[in-house]
Chain A
Amino acid sequence: ETGVTQTPRHLVMGMTNKKSLKCEQHLGHNAMYWYKQSAKKPLELMFVYNFKEQTENNSVPSRFSPECPNSSHLFLHLHTLQPEDSALYLCASSHPTRSYEQYFGPGTRLTVT
């Protein structure tokens, strides 16, 4: 266990649904990240939050909407997704003074039907 939890672990949704992914860490980290991992592709950074402020949006479509209400929680709100959005979505966090080492959650396996 890395100390980063993600719920749900598996999610199946239709293209017209709205759902949210949740990430939580109690490691005292100040930075949180969303990554997308598709089969046979490198991990893609989606969003970065530092001290609850979004500092990176890697040209992610607006059907993905992140929210960071505090340094311990991160959400990814999903709406009108496409089948190609099916992937493993990973959350990570990093320590204030060792910001380069990231701690990952187990991921949410998302299937869009």
Chain B
Amino acid sequence: SQQGEEDPQALSIQEGENATMNCSYKTSINNLQWYRQNSGRGLVHLILIRSNEREKHSGRLRVTLDTSKKSSSLLITASRAADTASYFCAASLYGNKLVFGAGTILRVKS
């Protein structure tokens, strides 16, 4: 069964609002990563949070990790129309294997 499961499946917000996406996973991880995918394109790495970290920031992105609940959240602040994309969490297991969730489709309306 898949490791990462995101919710919500789809999110529609107005430009300027914040967007929060959640991810849950099932087993122990080395780290958890978030990727973005524009329609029909490849995935772009956004941010990585290690299992011993609780929060990480990168520009307008804020990621939290709760290993006791096996969950992570991605917050995008002051969203822009260009943030419209699918967002995936990926659990890093042993070695260099990543297991992806089904993704959250984010639509930012201008």
Chain A: residues with CB nearer than 8 A to chain B?
2, 4, 6, 31, 40-43, 45, 48, 50, 55-56, 88, 90, 92, 94, 99-107, 109
Other-chain residue from A4, A31, A48, A56 in contact with B42 (beta carbon distance below 8 A):
A4
State how many residues of chain B have any CB contact under 8 Å with chain A. 25
Kindly name the residue among A40, A88, A104 whose own CB sees the greatest number of chain B CB atoms within 10 A: A104
State whether A100 and B31 are in contact (beta carbons under 8 Å apart), knowing that A48-B97, A94-B96 are contacts in the complex: yes
New A-B contacts (5) at CB < 8 Å, excluding given A31-B96, A94-B96: A50-B95, A55-B95, A99-B95, A102-B43, A106-B42
Q: Is B85 an interface residue (CB 8 A)?
A: no
Chain B positions 48-94 with a Cβ under 8 Å from a chain A Cβ: 48, 88, 90, 92
Residues on B with beta carbons closer than 8 Å to the beta carbon of A6: 42
B42 nearest in chain A by CB position: A104
Chain B: residues with CB nearer than 8 A to chain A?
2, 4, 30-31, 33, 35, 40-45, 48, 88, 90, 92, 95-103
Other-chain residue from B92, B97, B101 in contact with A42 (beta carbon distance below 8 A):
B101
- Check A56 against B97 for contact (C-beta < 8 Å): yes
User: How far is it, in angstroms, between the C-alpha of A26 and the C-alpha of B41 when the chains are bound?
Assistant: 19
Residues on A with beta carbons closer than 8 Å to the beta carbon of B33: 100-101
The 9 closest A-B CB pairs, nearest first, are: A104-B42, A43-B100, A99-B96, A104-B43, A42-B102, A106-B42, A100-B92, A42-B2, A42-B100
- Check A100 against B30 for contact (C-beta < 8 Å): yes
User: How far is it, in angstroms, between the C-alpha of A31 and the C-alpha of B98 when the chains are bound?
Assistant: 13
User: How far is it, in angstroms, between the C-alpha of A106 and the C-alpha of B40 when the chains are bound?
Assistant: 8
